[in-house]
Structure 1
Amino acid sequence: MTPPTPRRYAGLSSDQRSALRRESLMEAGMELFAASGNRGATMTAICAQAKLTERYFYESFSSRDELLEKILDGIADEVRDAGLAALRASDGTLEQRVRDAIASFVTILTDDPRKGRVAMIESAAYEPLRTHRRAVLHGFAQMVADEATQMYGDRAWPPRQGQINGLLFVGGLAELVTAWLNKEIDISPEEIVEAATYQFTSTAHH
């Protein structure tokens, strides 16, 4: 017996409508968390911003904190995918590929400052996101160390030193972007990219 075809509304299946609601909630969460931090990004406010009821919130997320973690993870995935694509491009010098990878990180967090504020500022100000953010940064530091080993081969630092350098690099770049987002430093995103490129290419090998 052929299973019944799922009902569609406005041309969308139930799963497609559920995915759109989830996307609307995440967009609303990012908007409110970036604008007013933990206190402003309540579940009630997120639902109101997304024009959805709490019933639909619980369809996708078990809690407000889970939604905020998923938003942070989504930004991290976007940055990671763009950076690795740039590093593994088949054209360009090694330094150019490093610059492009760093530029992708800086561009994602400065072209849409909401993403920058969520990833760099608001997530650092609120537990449990602070712990989650720290784990994400450590993951990026390890990725930097691994990619340096791939790029520099015998000239790369041994694993322990590479991990230290990776954390110093990622932490320093995060602080620089944070200072830019907070308007604490008179520097352009392009200058951040150039400074970080010089830092990485100068310290990622011996």
Structure 2
Amino acid sequence: MNGRSYRGMSAEERLAERRERLITAAYTLYSDPGFPETTIEKLCAAARISNRAFYECFSGRNELLQAVHDRCVQETLLSVSKSIEQAPDTLLSRVEAGIAGYIGFVTEDRRRARIMHLEVRRAGDCLTRSRQQAVAAFSQIIEANVFDLPGAVKANQRLLALGMIGAIQELLIEWVLADDPPAVDHLISTAVHIFYRSFVT
């Protein structure tokens, strides 16, 4: 690929623009009909690029899903961090703010919730590392913003954080898959109850 411009865009800019179109297409198609059902041909048609151009951007569907998932995670991390920073400096306030920030942001767009909590599992082992990195990042937020406050339990903090993350994931999977999804505020209040009962001495 050379650096000549085309329609006012350099080769690097064209590549970046195609990647964004593919990420946008995958964000929708990997949610519905889902990752296993979405072919490269469907992705290319939605992004309006050729199959050859696809492979200039990504090695395959798995790498594209990783890019979509990683972006969802980074956006959610920012939302959660901002919510906690703005909360009063008490244990319950931080717990409520962090959980509401996470569940509220993820459920703003069903595609985001489905990709982060269902489709990455359906993708199999290829996304295991990305999932582990996401869990580690959210666990660090919990450990840094909750366990240093008075009243927090002194048990194995990492295991408690992982357990809480798992509980929230299952609540969101239920929200994604249920024919009659529970109200988001009910998800938040349930998670806060579990969290507070587990983390407070």
Matched, 1:46 2:47: no
CA RMSD, 1 decimal: 2.5
1:86/1:98 contact within 8 Å kept: no
Q: Which amino acid aligns with 1:124?
A: R
Kindly state the Cα deviation for residue 122 of structure 1 after the two structures are TM-superposed: 1.6
The CA distance in 1 between the partners of 2:177 and 2:54, in whole Å, is: 31
Q: 180-189 or 110-119, which moves further after superposition?
A: 180-189
Mark the runs of 5 or more structure 2 residues left unpaired by the alignment: none
Could you say what secondary structure the match of 2:156 adopts? helix
Pair 129,188 (structure 1): closer, same or farther in 2 beyond 3 Å = farther
Q: Which amino acid aligns with 1:92?
A: P
Kindly state the Cα deviation for residue 25 of structure 1 after the two structures are TM-superposed: 0.1
Q: Which amino acid aligns with 1:87?
A: I
Within a 5 Å distance, the mapping from 1:1-206 to structure 2 comes to 7=5, 9=7, 12-89=9-86, 92-94=88-90, 95-129=92-126, 131-132=128-129, 134-139=131-136, 140-150=138-148, 152=149, 155-158=151-154, 161-183=156-178, 187-206=182-201
Kindly state the Cα deviation for residue 72 of structure 1 after the two structures are TM-superposed: 0.9
Kindly state the Cα deviation for residue 99 of structure 1 after the two structures are TM-superposed: 2.1
The runs of at least 4 aligned residues of structure 1 exceeding 6 Å deviation read none
Q: How many residues align?
A: 197
1:137/1:171 contact within 8 Å kept: no
Identity percentage over the alignment?
24
The CA distance in 2 between the partners of 1:138 and 1:110, in whole Å, is: 18
Q: What is the TM-score when the length of structure 1 is the normalising length?
A: 0.82
1:150-177 superposed Cα distances (whole Å, 9 cap, x missing partner): 3x16x4444x611111111110011011
Q: What is the TM-score when the length of structure 2 is the normalising length?
A: 0.84
